[in-house]
Structures are given as structure tokens and as C-alpha cells.
């Protein structure tokens, strides 16, 4: 465990933010460099079949040390971090004994991590936690998962008395922009089931996630001089606002929780002449998901009737689906993880993911892959933090899953 924090601090200082604006894979060349560095580390630890492909996917094997025939299992994390907040010059701060009050992350800029605003901090009084310096994200999503998997493999190598079957690990690029499973070779990975170590606070285990779609909408207006605009001008930005008002106003992220879905306006760039907007659409229920997409299509059709055919162009693409229907037939893999948590003193918290993971798409590619906690909070923001004990428990759970799988 002594190298866990050392690894994590080293990893988060490498800026591997993925970039949706490019089609290359990985989208950030530093992801490939980081994967190659990890490969060298894994070889030094003694893992086998260590390989990084040209797209930045890293796979490695910890061979079985038992004569029993047991399922091969996998553990997966992603090496990219979110583009939502800068990951340049990450400077983590360790608070050795959180005292239950405000943490001044950046005195100069008056950036404060407050238990009043983030009450989850109160669960970690007396514990060491790692935060940002208030100017960047931390990158615990998912550098914590990477560090935990590597440390768990090191622990198993150093403790051969713990019997386990074949273990495969994989680190993927570009998960944060929805492409982490795009080029994942399930057949090559060669396991019966796997877990992404990409969840939030300690104890989380998730096998339900949103059905997801992305909508890109182009609105073509008609720009004429405002002095002669009467009955002629079509202000594309106002048309975009009209479209937004026609969507259910209570079905937004800020008004929803648990199993409630939403429409989320993620981009708005416009002039009078032309406006481009983007939405993501989310719902756990397949029928509700279809309803949400159909409503947006009908709104666009209505506005085109009102303002002229071709005024609004909609591109609607499904991104991923709820993994629940793929996990329920193999529910023993959830029970295995639950038992591992209980035996390591972790209270399981089964909850739906209000998002998606590589595991959701991999489950539909034939690899059942629920999601387990990595321990972090406030992902994608300058207020991101992670308790060190939660990271240590994630390592223990990974080791225990491997051990219980071999019994």
C-alpha cells in the first residue's frame, strides 16, 4: 500500500485530458505516452503479456497461481481525464488529518472546499485526503482507478499465498468523451467478466446506467439589417431558445436525481445567421429514453413547419445503453463484488450510475462489466478530492475479488 499514493500523485501530474474535437485515437498523444510508461511499470512488477497498441489501449496479465479451474476476470480503468476543467499543471495537496472545517485550496484566489457546500467531507473527519490546489481538476477520475489496479496486482504478486485465477487488466483512452470502448478488443482481452474501477465514493457498486444519446442541432437563420428586419429576419439564436423552451423544463440535470432522466444543453454557439447547440439525453428506462428522443424530433419537425423546411437540422446518435439487462443474467458477478466488500469492511452501496462507463458499452460487446468505486468525489472539478483510506479499500476489494473468485 505504501506505493499507492506515490503512484497516484505521479499519475495525476500527467495531463491526459481527452479531446472531443479530434477524431484521432487516442485524442491526446500524451495518453499514448502515459500508457507506454504504465506498460514499463507493469513489466517491472512482473506482469505478463504487457502490450500497448497504437490506439493507446494497454492490456496485461497476472497468470493464475491455482490449479483449480476458475473464471478469468478483468479489471479496467481509463487513463484520460475530463476536458471539463483544466488538467494542466495539476498540483495535488495532501491534508494528513482532515479537521472538519473549510479547506483553503487556493488562498490567493480564495478557492475553498467547504463541508457546508460539499457535506460528504464530513464522512472523512480524521482521515487523510487529497485535494486539488483549486486551479485544476485532480484527475482521480480515473487515475485513482489506475493506481488502485496497479497496486492490487503488485500486492498479489508479492503475496503468492493468495490464490487467484487468471487476471487481465486494461487501461483505455478517451472514456471521458464516450470513446473508451470504441477500439477495445474483447476477444483479445479474454476474460469471463470484468469490473471497471471507475466509481465514486467508497462502497459504490453500479450495474445500472443511463441510456444515452447526443443531439447536435444546426439552426439556419436569416440575417438582414435590423432597420429593415420586419417580417424578414429569422434570428437563429431566438429559434434555439424557442426550441429549448419547448422541452420539459423540469427534465434537466439540476432538477433530477436517481432514476430520473433529463435533457442537458451542453453547448450553445450562435449568431443571428447561424446557431449550433448540443444536448445529451439520458434515461435509465428504455421506453422513457425513446420518448425523450421522439419528443425532440417532433419539436424540430414542428419548428421546421413554422419557419421553413431545413431551418433546423438535427443529428441524433445513440451513445450507450443501460447495462442492467446484460448483468442480471450473470448476477453472481455482483454478488462476488458485494461479498468482497463485506469481507474487507466496506459497506456496499448499490446505486444507478447517473452517467456511463466503459463497462456499459463493454457489456453490450459481450463482456459483462459492472462498476466499482475508486473513492473520489466531485469529479471533473477544481473541488475534486479523494480520501486515501478509500483508495486503500479499493485495492483491498480488488484483491479480495480475485481471492474469492478462486475459491
Q: Give the closest residue to 400 by CA, choosing from 317, 329, 343, 327.
A: 343
pLDDT at residue 230, as a whole number: 96
Taking residue 187's Cβ as centre, other Cβ atoms within 10 Å add up to 8
Report, as ranges of residue numbers, the positions in the chain whose pLDDT lies below 50: none
pLDDT at residue 282, as a whole number: 97
All 3 cell numbers of residue 362?
A: 463493454
CA distance 111 to 99: 18
Selected catalytic residue, list 31, 148, 175, 358: 175
pLDDT at residue 58, as a whole number: 98
Pairing of strands 111-113, 193-199: unpaired
Pairing of strands 48-52, 103-106: unpaired
CA distance 232 to 225: 10
pTM exceeds cut of 0.85: yes
* DSSP string computed for 62-123: E----SS----EEEEEE--B-TTS--TT---EEESS--SS-EEEETTTTEEE-TTT-GGGGG
Partners of residue 278 on adjacent β-strands:
216, 267
CA distance 393 to 347: 11
pLDDT at residue 377, as a whole number: 97
CA distance 324 to 400: 24
The yes-or-no answer on residue 185 being catalytic is no
All 3 cell numbers of residue 321?
A: 445503453
CA distance 328 to 325: 6
DSSP 8-class letter at 42:
H
pLDDT at residue 355, as a whole number: 83
Residue-range domains of the chain with CATH: 4-208+322-405 (3.40.630.10), 211-320 (3.30.70.360)
The yes-or-no answer on residue 175 being catalytic is yes
Selected catalytic residue, list 80, 148, 176, 198: 80
What would the pLDDT profile of 165-181 be if each residue is shown by its tens digit?
Answer: 999 999 999 999 989 99
What would the pLDDT profile of 255-313 be if each residue is shown by its tens digit?
Answer: 999 999 999 999 999 999 999 999 999 999 999 999 999 999 999 999 999 999 999 99
CA distance 76 to 58: 10
Q: Check: CB of residue 219 under 8 Å from CB of residue 235.
A: no
pLDDT at residue 314, as a whole number: 98
Partners of residue 403 on adjacent β-strands:
none
DSSP 8-class letter at 197:
E
Amino acid at each position: 500500500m505504501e506505493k499507492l499514493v506515490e503512484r497516484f500523485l505521479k499519475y495525476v501530474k500527467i495531463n491526459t485530458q481527452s479531446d472531443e474535437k479530434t477524431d484521432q485515437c487516442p485524442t491526446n498523444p500524451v495518453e499514448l505516452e502515459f500508457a507506454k510508461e504504465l506498460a514499463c511499470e507493469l513489466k517491472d512488477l512482473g506482469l505478463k503479456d504487457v502490450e500497448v497498441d497504437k490506439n493507446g489501449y494497454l492490456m496485461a496479465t497476472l497468470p493464475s497461481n491455482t490449479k483449480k479451474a476458475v473464471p478469468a476476470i478483468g479489471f479496467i480503468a481509463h487513463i484520460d481525464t475530463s476536458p471539463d476543467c483544466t488538467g494542466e499543471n495539476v498540483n495535488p495537496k495532501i491534508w494528513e488529518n482532515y479537521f472538519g472545517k473549510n479547506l483553503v485550496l487556493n488562498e490567493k484566489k480564495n478557492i475553498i472546499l467547504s463541508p457546508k457546500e460539499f457535506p460528504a467531507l464530513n464522512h472523512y473527519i480524521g482521515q487523510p485526503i487529497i485535494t486539488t490546489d483549486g486551479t485544476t481538476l485532480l484527475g482521480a477520475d480515473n487515475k485513482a482507478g489506475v493506481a488502485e489496479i496497479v497496486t492490487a496486482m503488485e500486492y498479489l504478486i508479492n503475496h503468492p499465498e493468495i490464490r487467484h485465477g487468471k487476471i487481465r487488466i486494461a487501461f483505455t483512452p478517451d472514456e471521458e468523451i464516450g470513446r473508451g470502448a470504441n477500439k477495445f478488443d474483447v476477444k483479445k482481452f479474454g476474460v469471463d467478466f470484468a469490473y471497471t474501477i471507475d466509481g465514486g465514493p467508497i462502497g459504490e457498486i453500479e450495474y445500472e446506467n443511463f441510456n444515452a444519446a447526443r443531439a447536435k442541432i444546426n439552426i439556419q437563420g436569416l440575417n438582414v439589417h435590423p432597420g429593415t428586419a420586419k417580417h424578414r429576419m429569422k434570428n437563429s439564436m431566438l429559434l434555439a431558445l424557442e426550441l429549448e423552451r419547448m422541452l420539459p423544463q423540469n427534465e434537466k440535470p439540476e432538477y433530477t436525481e436517481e432514476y430520473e432522466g433529463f435533457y442537458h444543453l451542453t453547448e450553445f454557439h450562435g449568431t443571428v445567421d447561424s446557431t449550433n447547440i448540443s444536448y445529451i439525453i439520458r434515461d435509465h428506462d428504455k421506453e422513457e429514453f425513446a420518448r425523450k428522443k421522439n419528443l425532440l424530433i417532433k419539436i424540430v419537425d414542428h419548428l421546421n413547419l413554422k419557419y421553413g423546411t431545413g431551418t433546423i437540422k438535427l443529428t441524433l446518435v445513440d451513445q450507450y445503453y443501460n447495462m442492467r439487462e446484460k448483468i442480471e443474467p450473470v448476477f453472481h458477478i455482483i454478488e462476488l463484488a458485494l461479498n468482497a466488500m463485506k469481507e474487507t469492511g466496506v459497506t456496499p452501496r448499490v446505486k444507478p450510475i447517473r452517467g456511463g462507463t466503459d463497462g456499459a458499452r463493454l457489456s453490450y460487446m459481450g463482456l459483462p462489466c459492472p462498476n466499482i468505486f475508486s473513492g473520489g468525489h466531485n469529479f471533473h472539478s477544481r473541488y475534486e478530492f479523494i480520501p486515501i483510506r478509500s483508495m486503500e479499500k479499493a485495492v483491498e476489494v480488488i484483491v479480495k475479488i480475485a481471492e474469492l473468485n478462486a475459491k
